[in-house]
Chain A
Amino acid sequence: MPETTPTAPPTPITTDDVAKVAALARLSLTDDELEAFTGQLRSILEHARDVEALDLDDVPPTHHPYPLRNVFRADEVTPGVDRDEVLGEAPATEAGMFRVPPVLGEAP
């Protein structure tokens, strides 16, 4: 993806950009979907450019409406969720674990 600086308005999103973000997000798109999503995302991003009317240089970002503090508590054992109940809802399990297809290469 092309690098942009905060001061230069980014170029409109292209089908190549959308294909890249779809791959990053683990989504497969047909050619028709790619076209349609690109047009829609372009119009949403175009609308979002109205904020360029604001002078935001000295404004700090808000990540969260309230300051988050770390919460400490005593390290006491309390009941957790039941393992069998959790695994009972999984697509595939084996020996008390989630079973998945090979992550790297062929299964032994």
Chain B
Amino acid sequence: MTAREIASSVRAGDRSAVQILDEHLARIDAREGEIHAFNHVMADEARRSAEAVDATIAAGGDPGPLAGVVVAVKDNLCTRGVPTTCSSHILGQWRPPYDATVIQRLADAGATIVGKTNLDEFAMGSSTENSAFGATRNPVDTTRVPGGSSGGSAAAVAAGFASVSFGSDTGGSIRQPAALCGVVGVKPTFGRVSRYGLIAFASSLDQIGPFATDVADAALCIEVVAGHDRRDSTSIPEAFPPLGVELGRGVDGLRIGVVTELLGDGVEPEVAARTREAADSLAAAGATVEEVSVPATVFGLSAYYLIAPAEASSNLARFDGVRFGLREERSSMPETYDATRTAGFGAEVKRRIMLGTYALSAGYFDAYYGKAQKVRTTIIRDFESAYESYDALISPSSPCVAFRLGDKTADPMAMYRNDVSTVPSSLAGHPAMSVPFGSGADGLPVGIQVMAPALGEPMMFRVAAAIEEAAT
């Protein structure tokens, strides 16, 4: 059942929110031990909110567009009074004193928030193996990773633990796990969704977005949470456009580019083949589809893996054992800082903090961080030039299907290469989403990435809906 069907049945009084919740909790009971999608299942809080929805219905009210829909949220989104860990020991079992704006808007729309999902520590990773609480497994094949960093949110939807879920995407952390788990995942335009209450990783890149089993559910989710928020100074003032009308419009007459550089070396042959088939299906539906070069995208990884760690090294300075989370107390404050951060952060987080500190340090700033920021400009210019001739661009969401646990943990650079298709749109601040399209090696899901210019969500969803229709 889609989230749309659940919400309409609950709003019509045909089914109760508590009934819907119980069905999801039963699936969690049956399979969570094997998947580990959650850091924390909020069974009691979820029941209270489902009961409140049912009470509203009984009183003749309307709980909202997500009435009774069971939603899972990444454990880097603050939930008042409920542990929020970023899958890091350094936050301990910290319970935030406020809700993220996204959490508030979901609750206001009648959603039932069922739990906090696992992630790579502080959203740094592409497999969810960097969690301090153990890896999440891919529900499609439990010997494989779900992707990351929002692997728990992707797995929760793929396993039926939640109808929809939310993650954060800094360099592909929604789109890549969506692809690997065979679900839809959306990174909106930077600034579309308020980040108030999202624990920051890289502030010029972080964006919140939904996972869903189909494109229309993803559209519904984003409509609920998007829009201006005075508590996020980077929030875009423009109202978010309705997406429903876009989904049935088809692609007749559109111009769609297939990005040459993102189909190059390192892309698995079957992933490349599915991408070309998706392109062919768009052409068959009336679009003009051509290969297009966006040259600077090949430098995306290099720019991203300097800019994101640099911003992270600054953002993660706040974890110092003074105000929240872990404290490893020593006889002086400086020793306490060292002991707390050394004990609290995992290896990948330390690696990125040091990389970022180095890239920002005197003598190296121009050679690394300064240069990366110029590459970022070049990527934006190349995209803008492509969007003069094309309405949307497509590529694989990930160069490979889900890989085995442990396959890439020994070599950070090998793990970083998973992000090659997703980082360019992140650096540009553009919207991009992943739509399932057939399968690759070993029958594992393949995702097609649809990219659009800033504020281009209507066009992006229109193309995504056409790809989804061709896939089914």
A interface residues, Cβ below 8 angstroms from B: 1-6, 9-10, 13, 17-18, 21-22, 24-29, 37, 40-41, 43-45, 47-51, 54, 56, 59-66, 68, 71, 73, 81-82, 85-86, 89-92, 98, 100-103
Which B residues form the contact surface with A (CB < 8 A)? 94-98, 190-191, 204, 230, 233-234, 236, 296, 298-299, 301-303, 305-306, 313, 320-327, 329-339, 341-342, 345, 350-351, 353-355, 357-358, 361-364, 366-368, 370-378, 380, 412-413, 416, 427-429, 454
Known contacts A21-B354, A26-B320, A65-B204; A103 and B363 CB within 8 A of each other: no
Which of chain A's residues has its CB closest to B375's CB? A51
In the assembly, what is the distance between CA of A45 and CA of B416, in Å? 13
Are B429 and A89 within 8 A (Cβ)?
no
Whether B305 pairs with A71 at a CB distance below 8 angstroms is: no
Number of residue pairs across A and B with beta carbons under 8 Å? 183
The answer on a CB contact under 8 Å between B377 and A60 is yes
A-B pairs with beta carbons under 8 Å apart, 26 shown: A3-B362, A6-B366, A6-B370, A10-B367, A21-B357, A21-B361, A22-B354, A25-B353, A25-B354, A28-B338, A28-B342, A40-B412, A51-B371, A51-B372, A54-B375, A59-B378, A62-B377, A64-B234, A66-B190, A66-B234, A73-B230, A81-B97, A86-B323, A90-B324, A102-B331, A102-B332
Asked whether B233 lies within 8 Å of A51 as measured between CB atoms, the reply is no
Smallest distance from the beta carbon of B268 to chain A beta carbons, Å?
21
Q: Is A17 within 8 A of B358, CB to CB?
A: yes
B305 / chain A contacts, CB cutoff of 8 Å: 44, 47-48
Contact A101 B370 (CB under 8 A): no
- Indicate if the CB atoms of A61 and B374 lie closer than 8 Å: yes
The answer on a CB contact under 8 Å between A48 and B358 is no
Chain B residue at minimum C-beta to C-beta distance from A52: B371
**How far, in Å, is A25 (CB) from chain B's closest CB?**
5
A24 to chain B, nearest CB (A): 5
B285 CB to closest chain A CB (Å) equals 31
Closest residue of chain B to A65 (Cβ to Cβ) is B429
Please classify the interface of chain A as helix (H, G, I), strand (E, B), loop, or mixed, using the class held by over half of its residues: loop
Q: Specify which chain B residues have a CB less than 8 angstroms from the CB of A18 in the assembled complex.
A: 354, 358
CB distance from A18 to the nearest CB of B (A): 6
Is the CB–CB distance between B350 and A68 below 8 Å?
A: no
CB distance from B184 to the nearest CB of A (A): 23
Please pick, from A28, A54, A100, A102, the residue contacting B299 in the complex, using a CB distance under 8 A: A54
Question: For residue A93, which residue of chain B has the nearest CB?
Answer: B323
Given the interface pairs A24-B357, A44-B305, A54-B296, the reply to whether A65 lies near B321 with Cβ below 8 Å is no
Which A residues lie within 8 Å of B327 (CB)? 91-92
* A65 / chain B contacts, CB cutoff of 8 Å: 190-191, 204, 380, 427-429, 454
Kindly state the separation between the CA atoms of A60 and B381 in the bound complex, as whole angstroms: 11
Within the complex, the shortest CB–CB distance from A27 to chain B, in Å, comes to: 6
- Residue pair A47, B333 in contact (C-beta under 8 Å): no
- A105 → chain B closest CB, angstroms: 8
CB-defined contacts of A64 to chain B, threshold 8 Å? 204, 234
Q: CA separation between A51 and B329, bound complex, in Å?
A: 44
Residue among A9, A25, A60, A92 with the highest chain B CB neighbour number at 10 A = A25
For A71, the closest partner residue in chain B by CB is: B233
CB distance from B170 to the nearest CB of A (A): 12
Please indicate the chain A residues that have their CB under 8 angstroms from the CB of B321 in the complex.
91
Are A47 and B429 CB-contacts (below 8 A) given A1-B361, A10-B364, A98-B323? no
Kindly state the separation between the CA atoms of A75 and B323 in the bound complex, as whole angstroms: 27
Chain A residues, Cβ within 8 Å of B98? 81
The reply to whether A56 and B358 form a contact with Cβ atoms under 8 Å apart is no
In the complex, the answer to whether A91 meets B322 with C-beta atoms within 8 Å is: yes
Interfacial chain A residues near B334, Cβ < 8 Å? 26, 103
Q: Which A residues are in CB contact (< 8 Å) with B335?
A: 101
Give the shortest distance, in Å, between B57 (CB) and chain A (any CB).
30
B94 contacts across to A, CB distance below 8 A: 89
How many whole Å from A52's CB to the nearest CB in chain B? Answer: 8
Candidates B95, B325, B413; contact of A44 at CB < 8 Å: B413
Which of chain B's residues has its CB closest to A24's CB? B357
* Pairs A-B, 10 closest by C-beta atoms: A65-B429, A61-B373, A91-B327, A6-B366, A85-B97, A62-B376, A56-B374, A48-B302, A59-B374, A103-B333
